[in-house]
Structure 1
């Protein structure tokens, strides 16, 4: 794998984040505009990019690879759940923070950052593999993830918010587009040229707008407070460097399809997902730790992802 190319891609994405940071500091965006643009990216542009990534792809020889990828997706979440448990056992964070560290570990940014980074590294052919991670993400987040966040709130003595319709929340544009992408790919369903062009133009807006939003979220954070938290540094090193490199070493003796394995490793190396803060807040847990983890891990990813790729 050409690490120089990957580092150049990460620098390009970082430049987009820096632009978002500058836009926020110039006060060209306020919180309301930020939230509205986030909704557009998450609910419209990201799903369209997912669809476009599989349009016109021949599933003939790839169906078996999709099944292999499904196995790696299952392994991915098992590894993250176990890593969260091991981390809190080894580093012994405060009782009120233990489940939050586990929550941050299990739910990396597989979509909002995973899609632009992985598609930049492996191209559009990786999209069919990414969508299965997103399907698993939604399923686990709105079941196990919510339960974990509520337990974290109870540990902190907070009032827990009870969401009665978590199953309905799994039916969202991300899940729908992922299911549609799998169906289109497996059955080779053609889309008319105007629809393909629409998906092309709209999907191309996803990467720059996603990076602008991440830059704005960094600009909103109290960086001085985040950088003074030593435990977050240790967590970031374990999650974004030690874990993916360990998996690379363990799988080295085996012959695995490079793109499937590369997507698996890069998803492990992704920063904490922004949805974690929202889930913690809704459940009554202290979202400050989650916000700190998101910001620091996102900044670190500019360096850690190319480092991980050096071992691939």
Structure 2
């Protein structure tokens, strides 16, 4: 029950920040140009800082092993999600099939997972979560990009040289080389990292401000959101329990919860940002993000409660 209450508190806090973005846009204070500028700042400064901050701690062999296991669980989840959405979301059913699959597979773990993990597990959980986010970014710029733009739209440079992957690689390199940032640099990185959640929620709120609630209740929105918020996380939880993940490591239960919280977040902001950059129907992606964000008030605490009961 504690995990459910902590996640509920964090989800409500983040949705309140998102609502501020919506209100400010409706008042004419923010616009899409501001959202695009803040998105670039988040991508190239805040996201790498968040990952570097998570890795900036003394090296421990047991935690290094846990980090590698967290990365493996991230690969498992994204591979599983890609296969299931390929089977369950068929081109004949949705005109926006590629965007629907994108919204179902990719969670908003880069912006939402760290506050949830920090509240439920603490700093060790954030450290493990950084591996999941690094793998998420690698899949997003390869499989996710291919979903939207086809094989010709995937470039190795984009897959490797994006802020999420570079931040995770740089942080991991510093950690495994037993190097910690000195005081002023560490404080600078930590301060930048602290901007992640409030800025990200404001940006998402700006993009979602044009959505109408009545447009959310249709089949082509409901099925991808149901997959994203319930089917895929619960299937993943069942798989992790079948694989006895809590027994893999001294912090196995924490690793399971970290991976599950990352997998349970609403549809990724890239469902809007990447589709918009490719000239696709970003309004449909925005509806997926908004509906999944609303449902997260119920689904994330519920899934966290189920997991905490099952792994005790």
TM-score category, normalised to shorter length: 0.7 to 0.9
The answer as to whether partners of 1:59 and 1:188 remain within 8 angstroms in 2 is no
Query: 1:55, CA displacement in angstroms?
Result: 1.1
Segments of structure 2 that go 5 or more residues without pairing to the other structure are 247-251, 308-312
The answer as to whether partners of 1:59 and 1:186 remain within 8 angstroms in 2 is no
Aligned counterpart in structure 2 of residue 198 of structure 1, from 188, 191, 203: 188
- Inter-CA distance 57–172: structure 2 relative to 1 (3 Å threshold): same
Partner residue, 1:156 = none
Matched residue count: 299
Q: What CA distance in whole angstroms lies between the structure 2 residues aligned with 1:265 and 1:79? A: 13
Partner residue, 1:228 = 217
- Inter-CA distance 175–250: structure 2 relative to 1 (3 Å threshold): closer
Aligned counterpart in structure 2 of residue 241 of structure 1, from 221, 230, 237: 230
| 2:3 corresponds to 1:8 | no
Partner residue, 2:270 = 275
| 2:287 corresponds to 1:292 | yes
Q: Deviations over 1:148-190 (max 9, x none)?
A: 2135xxxxxxxx9x65x82222312222111011112222212
Query: 1:295, CA displacement in angstroms?
Result: 1.9
The answer as to whether partners of 1:99 and 1:149 remain within 8 angstroms in 2 is yes
- Inter-CA distance 280–201: structure 2 relative to 1 (3 Å threshold): closer
Q: Deviations over 1:110-153 (max 9, x none)?
A: 212233333343333223322323332333333333332135xx
Segments of structure 1 that go 5 or more residues without pairing to the other structure are 152-159
Q: What is the TM-score with the length of structure 2 in the denominator?
A: 0.85
Q: Please, which moves more after superposition, 247-256 or 204-213?
A: 247-256
Partner residue, 1:110 = 109
Q: Deviations over 1:203-239 (max 9, x none)?
A: 22222222222222222323332x2323322332232
Q: What is the TM-score with the length of structure 1 in the denominator?
A: 0.85
- Inter-CA distance 270–6: structure 2 relative to 1 (3 Å threshold): closer
Partner residue, 1:138 = 137
The answer as to whether partners of 1:244 and 1:268 remain within 8 angstroms in 2 is yes
SS of residue matched to 1:80: helix
The answer as to whether partners of 2:101 and 2:224 remain within 8 angstroms in 1 is no
Cα RMSD between the aligned structures?
Answer: 2.5
